[in-house]
Copies of this chain bind each other. A is one copy, B any other.
Amino acid sequence: MQTGAAGSGLGPGVEFDRIRSLLEQARVSLPSHVRVGPGDDAAVVEGTSLVVSTDLSVEDVHFRRDWVTPEEIGFRAVSAALSDLAAMAASPLGVLVSVALPASEGTRTWDELGAGVASACERAHAPLVGGDLSASPGPLVLDVTVLGQAASPVLRSGAVPGDEIWVTGALGGSGGAVRLWEEGLQPPEELRQSYAHPTPRIAEARWLARQGDLHALIDLSDGLQGDAAHLAAASDVEVTLDLFRLPVHPRLRGLFGERVATELALTGGEDYELCFAAPPGSVEGHAAAFPGEFGVDLTRVGTVGAGSGVYLRARPGEAGRRTDTGAFDHFAGDASE
């Protein structure tokens, strides 16, 4: 479950607490079918292995029409939603896509948007099972609901002190593209693709779950620092991230310099990579096989301790400095250049 506007740096911020309070209010008064409630990446419907999540994409909040094509808007919205299934190590059962399309748009926009939706569904082996279409008197709005199944969904809440924190792939590519667009520049194609065609790590999550102990799992939609804070809060632990270990997207350092590249990898958001906690030494043995299976790296980026919040270490052996969620400026001086 996403809460809008996070990570992209676009538009007004949205209070996460608002939707949560609505969900809590409605659940309290009802015979609950919800096993794992809202607040994790997706909800699990009680008595079933059904995992569900929904994800809005709003023009000029989550994307801009001068940044991405209609195909990319459709692909990206569906992939971002499917990433919530990956974050539970669930396998997709179906996708529903609702589109409010500006009345001025022609059939071509719709066809391209639909091609992106279909392509993202196909790549994730997730059938499109329903949808709705309406005219919009304003922005283009997509809402994507994903259904999956997971006999043993992996939650955010299972990390314990001593665990290692790992991530898939490279970080900051999507945020780097947004940063350049916001400066009126065209990002290089590799960064552009990170934003426009993210890969929900569905197969990767299931593979990792099969290898052994995934204590806690989350997908990186808000950025590593913010999502590590979610994982830490849900697990009631503290997470220390090693800035010198981050798998910074290879194009970022040359474009932005070390400091900003690290910032983007840490807080850029919308990479849709996985972040997970696992017992010490448990991942090392199969981490070498991961790139061969999936074409991306598996990187250890931190550790779990007793406490709360997220700490950052700029150098090995250094004591971590506590951060406030999402506020990179609070520790900017620590990023080595």
Contacts and interface: CB of A to CB of B under 8 A. Distances in A.
Given A38-B130, A147-B45, A135 B54 contact: no
Contacts of A3: 132-134
Query: Which label, helix, strand, loop or mixed, suits the secondary structure of the A interface?
Result: mixed
Contact of A58 (B42, B117, B134): B134
4 closest A-B pairs by CB: A138-B138, A4-B134, A143-B143, A26-B128
Given A32-B127, A38-B129, A45-B129, A135 B4 contact: yes
B143 A26 contact: no
Given A94-B33, A100-B56, A137-B60, A131 B14 contact: no
Contact of A122 (B26, B107, B141): B26
A231 to B, nearest CB: 19
Interface string A8-28: 000111110011011101110
B125 A30 contact: yes
A2 interface: yes
A118 B56 contact: no
B18 A133 contact: yes
Which of A19, A21, A22 has the most C-beta atoms of chain B within 10 angstroms of its own C-beta?
A22
A1 interface: yes
A110 interface: yes
Interface residues of A, number: 75
A26 B135 CA distance: 22
A333 to B, nearest CB: 32
A5 B135 contact: yes
Contacts of A234: none
A139 B5 CA distance: 16
Could you say how many copies of this chain the assembly holds? 2
A20 B2 CA distance: 27
A68 interface: no
13 contacts: A4-B135, A5-B134, A22-B97, A22-B117, A33-B127, A38-B129, A50-B147, A52-B145, A56-B98, A56-B143, A58-B100, A59-B137, A137-B138
Nearest to A121: B26
Given A23-B131, A29-B122, A61-B135, 15 more contacts: A1-B130, A11-B137, A22-B117, A26-B121, A26-B122, A32-B127, A45-B93, A53-B96, A54-B130, A54-B132, A56-B132, A56-B143, A59-B137, A62-B134, A145-B145
A197 B48 CA distance: 31
A316 interface: no
A96 B98 CA distance: 13
Given A127-B30, A131-B1, A58 B137 contact: yes
